[in-house]
Amino acid sequence: MTFSPPLRRFLRTVHVAVSVGWLGAIGAYIALNVPAVVSTDPQTVRAAYLMMEPVALYGIVPLSLATLLTGVIQSLGTPWGLFRHYWVVVSLVVTTFATVVLILHLGTVRELAELARDPNVDMRNAGGDLFHSIGGFIALLIPLWLNMYKPRGLTRHGWRRQQRDKRTAGPSLVDADRD
Amino acid sequence: MATRQRDGGGQPPPRPRWLKVLLLGILVVVLAFVVMHVLQGGGPQLHGPGMGRGMSQHSTVVGAALITRGVA
């Protein structure tokens, strides 16, 4: 099934918007970690930890799921396919991995926010949450690069599909409109 | 064999070089992060006036860090 060009463009726009938004939301999360790590003011540190929870829960997580969903839908509705090109497969694997790690990490984010709500806990030495956020940011640069440059390379499945298409329908769908 | 005959007997293309470089890079970065994570002690560390309060409510990383610091 191949979507019509207008629908394809619309889906691509949505996919770019949510995936770039995901990176931006992680950027905001990293920014909140800066005062959490370097500030000496207890209230500033506490506020930073309290804000990390809604940024992760209502910003990063929905955008990550939307990125995964729109990416899969888009690939299934274009000649690129989901498993025909290495760059699509790697993008899918990295995005899925980042989403799973993010969801598993939500528990820690909630616990840090819960601790920050306790006025008797000094959060200045909590150490921040830079490790996962910077790791996630770096990981998401991989699908970004792959989606922008679309490096060549057919998977075995893609190659077989291409051979079959060449025999049955003339020019391969894989080499057709790549939008 | 059946697949090759069906595909016209050709060979599938080799894996592209960029893929090998990328996978190697990912492996190096993952290993570096794992080492850093181990060296950091596995997560946030808390101490201060509230240390040890409400530990039963918190689990996993933060709870373990609190317990560790409390014992230390």
Q: Does residue A174 fall inside a structural domain?
A: no
Interface residues from chain B to A (CB-CB < 8 Å): 3, 6-8, 10, 12-13, 15-16, 18-19, 22, 26, 29, 33, 36-37, 40, 43-51, 53-54, 57-63
Domain range enclosing A14 = 5-166
Classify the phi-psi angles of B52: left when phi > 0, otherwise alpha if psi is within -120 to 50, otherwise beta: left
Average pLDDT over residues B61-65: 45
pLDDT for position A18: 97
Q: Does residue A41 fall inside a structural domain?
A: yes
Number of domain units in chain A = 1
**Residues forming beta bridges with residue A85, ordered by sequence position:** A154
Structure tokens at A68: 């995964």
Q: Is ipTM beyond 0.90? A: no
Structure tokens at A95: 């995005």
pLDDT for position B5: 44
Any idea what the Cα angle at residue A124 is, between residues B59 and A56, rounded to 5°?
Answer: 55
Tell me whether A86 touches chain B (CB under 8 Å): yes
Q: Does residue A31 fall inside a structural domain?
A: yes
Task: Name the percent of chain A lying above pLDDT 90.
Answer: 79
Distance between the two ends of chain A, CA-based, in angstroms? Answer: 15
Alpha-helical (H) ranges within chain B are: 2-6, 17-40, 60-71
Average pLDDT over residues B2-6: 45
Per residue in A107-121, pLDDT tens? 999 999 999 999 888
Any idea what the Cα angle at residue A48 is, between residues B70 and B40, rounded to 5°?
Answer: 45
pTM of the model: 0.77
Tell me whether A154 touches chain B (CB under 8 Å): yes
Per residue in B5-57, pLDDT tens? 444 457 888 999 999 999 999 999 889 888 887 887 655 555 444 443 333 33
Distance, C-alpha B8 to centroid of its chain:
42
**B58 neighbourhood in chain A, CB within 8 Å:** 111, 114-115
pLDDT for position A169: 72
Q: Which of A59-63, A77-81, B38-42, B44-48 tops mean pLDDT? A: A59-63
Instruction: Determine the residue among B3, B4, B6, B7 to mutate to test chain A binding: the one whose Cβ has the most chain A Cβ atoms within 10 Å.
Output: B7
Confidence of residue A83 (pLDDT cuts 50, 70, 90): very high
Q: Does residue A177 fall inside a structural domain?
A: no
d(CA B67, CA A127): 16
Q: Does residue A175 fall inside a structural domain?
A: no
d(CA A53, CA A105): 11
Per residue in A119-152, pLDDT tens? 888 888 888 888 889 989 999 999 999 999 999 9
pLDDT for position B44: 52
Q: How far is A66 from chain B (nearest CA, A)?
A: 24
CA distances to A4, A13, A67, A72 from A161, in Å: 21, 27, 26, 19
- The one-character DSSP state at B72 is -
Contacts of A46 by beta carbon, 8 Å cutoff, 6+ apart: A116, A123
Confidence of residue B62 (pLDDT cuts 50, 70, 90): very low
* DSSP SS3 for A170: coil
pLDDT for position A55: 97
Q: Does residue A131 fall inside a structural domain?
A: yes
d(CA A123, CA A112): 9
Structure tokens at A121: 């806990």
d(CA B66, CA B47): 7
Q: Does residue A173 fall inside a structural domain?
A: no
d(CA A91, CA B27): 16
Q: Does residue A9 fall inside a structural domain?
A: yes
Q: Is the pLDDT of residue A172 over 90?
A: no
